[in-house]
Amino acid sequence: MPPIVGVIGGGQLARMMIPRAIELGIELRVLAESEGMSAKLAATAVGNYTDADTVLAFARDVDVITFDHEHVPQGVLAQLVEAGVSVHPGPAPLAVAQDKILMRQELTRLGLPVPEWASVSTPAELDEFLAANGGRVIVKTPRGGYDGKGVRVVSAASDVADWFEAGNPLLVEELVSFTRELAQLAARSPSGEVALWPLVESIQQDGVCAEVIAPAPSLTGSLADAAATIARTVVDELGVTGVLAVELFETSDGRLLINELAMRPHNSGHWTMDGAVTSQFEQHLRAVLDLPLGATDARSPWTVMINVLGGPASGTIADRYPAAFANQPTAKFHEYGKAPRPGRKVGHVNVSGDDLDDVVYRARAAAAILKD
């Protein structure tokens, strides 16, 4: 019998595991939130992932449960573990990914570099942090945010009055003066094997990852070492299993600060699908099944990933294929099976090659035609 991996969540991350599962002969089963989602080809169940009975029924007969997202409630995870289901990443590391205040606490406890931060429960506490941090700060809701949602740049407590009304503490962070954003992708298996991909640069637009350059240009060995140490510490100390992405700020004075953790395959790792010996999706499957990890070397000097955000103004991405394929025969297209909507991630393009300027040009040209 082939190994069976159950994935909770039917988005594009689950979808992009399917090709690798087919190639390795792994049976992938997806619990999708609704019909017709990105990962529908592997959806063996449709249901609510916050409902323990639904999740327990789905998890029956699988060898391991893993995730398309970090939002499965701890109560449901606890019931899975109690039922003897192998869950990767496990409830404890997932708790850290689920709550940004807990994440800051844990990273601080581990002595890892993070921006100045505080947990604030009242406008007065926020005012105090504002006063101590230059009058402009970042406020984040601890739970449920993604792609810039649940994040605001704030210069007065009244800017988040609505969030305070909910009665939960908020995370407040200094506005970091950074020169660029980097991301360190890692994978760890339950046996403790760790693999790190090359450090990449990620370019955000409106809080959404727009472009990734692998490896990060102008990379010094010490910067790469620092990022690798941070990621290795996080996965080892928190006991993360599967793929983890550490989003980092490179500050103007040359330090690295941890921005966010994603405890799953991540947009900053989509370049690996065509640019690395082992993609993050294959590695995630290997890791959660506790199989030896694959080589993470880059396959070309440069790979650039461009997100297709929103999709074309009319019609579908597939309508643009004749023009895009003809224009960029080296581009690798990844479509997510999602209806276009402004700002929505509906696909991405990877281009690899020897010359960075040329690779960037080709990737942008291909993506631009899809969005046209």
Let me know how long the chain is.
372
Q: Which of 5, 18, 52, 263 binds a copy of itself (CB under 8 A)?
A: 18
Choices 16-24, 201-209, 230-238, 259-267; region in contact with a copy of itself by CB under 8 A: 16-24
Amino acid at 284: H
The helix, strand and coil proportions of the chain, stated in percent and rounded to the nearest 5, come to 35, 30, 35
Least distance between a copy of itself and beta carbon 294 (Å)? 5
What distance in Å separates the CA atoms of residue 64 and residue 106, rounded to the nearest whole number? Answer: 26
Long-range contacts from 249-253, C-beta under 8 angstroms, 24+ separation: 249/115, 249/176, 249/178, 249/180, 249/181, 249/182, 250/178, 250/179, 250/180, 250/181, 250/182, 250/223, 251/176, 251/177, 251/178, 251/179, 252/177, 252/178, 252/179
Under the criterion CB under 8 A, does residue 2 sit at the interface with a copy of itself? yes
What distance in Å separates the CA atoms of residue 198 and residue 191, rounded to the nearest whole number? Answer: 22
Q: Which helix (H) or strand (E) holds 96?
A: helix 91-98
Under the criterion CB under 8 A, does residue 299 sit at the interface with a copy of itself? yes
Q: Which of 325, 341, 343, 355 binds a copy of itself (CB under 8 A)?
A: 325
Least distance between a copy of itself and beta carbon 200 (Å)? 19
Choices 22-30, 110-118, 139-147, 262-270; region in contact with a copy of itself by CB under 8 A: 22-30
Closer Cβ to a copy of itself, 164 or 336, answer by number? 336
Closer Cβ to a copy of itself, 321 or 361, answer by number? 321
Beta carbons of 191 and 88 less than 8 angstroms apart: no
Closer Cβ to a copy of itself, 266 or 338, answer by number? 338
Single out the residue of 295, 219, 207 nearest to residue 259, CA to CA.
207
Binding residues: 100, 140, 173-176, 181, 259-260
Least distance between a copy of itself and beta carbon 364 (Å)? 17
Residues numbered 235 to 294 that lie near a copy of itself (CB under 8 A) are: 277-278, 286, 291-294
| Residue 195 Ramachandran class (φ > 0 left, ψ -120 to 50 alpha, else beta) | beta
**Residue 203 — φ and ψ, nearest 5°?**
-110, 120
Q: Which of 5, 26, 96, 248 binds a copy of itself (CB under 8 A)?
A: 26
Closer Cβ to a copy of itself, 257 or 285, answer by number? 285
Residues numbered 106 to 145 that lie near a copy of itself (CB under 8 A) are: none
Q: Encoding tokens for residue 361?
A: 């040009």
Binding residues for ATP: 100, 140, 173-176, 181, 259-260
Under the criterion CB under 8 A, does residue 334 sit at the interface with a copy of itself? yes
Amino acid at 11: G
Under the criterion CB under 8 A, does residue 15 sit at the interface with a copy of itself? yes
> Please, which residues have CB within 8 angstroms of residue 160's CB and are 6 or more apart in sequence?
126, 139, 152, 154, 170
Q: Which spans of this chain sit near a copy of itself (rule: CB under 8 A)? A: 1-3, 15, 18-20, 22-26, 41-42, 277-278, 286, 291-295, 297, 299-300, 316-318, 321-322, 325-326, 329-330, 332-337, 347, 352
